[in-house]
Copies of this chain bind each other. A is one copy, B any other.
Amino acid sequence: MLIRPKTGILDPQGEAVQASLATLGFPVTSARVGRLVDLEVATDDVQAARVEVERMCAELLANPLIESFEIVAEEP
């Protein structure tokens, strides 16, 4: 799953990345840093797994106040 700081939420890590890239001469207009969590769930039911992963995100892995998340399912 992909976890990003919501639009409008301050992202000091992203600002540092953008400033460093600019110093090195890379023409980047914006940088935002988020988290990536790869989970393996043992199931045959992709739909049910997606619902479970959504609960994991909302309850543990993301902070819904300041972060948005996106779930990308990949079958083995």
Give chain A's interface residues, CB within 8 Å of chain B: 2-4, 14, 17, 20-21, 24, 26-43, 52, 55-56, 59-61
Contact = CB atoms under 8 A, between A and B. Distances in A.
A3 to B, nearest CB: 7
Oligomer copy total:
2
Contacts of A26: 52, 55-56
Nearest to A21: B56
15 contacts: A3-B36, A4-B36, A14-B38, A21-B56, A21-B60, A27-B43, A27-B52, A28-B39, A28-B41, A29-B41, A31-B38, A32-B37, A32-B38, A34-B37, A34-B38
A39 B60 CA distance: 26
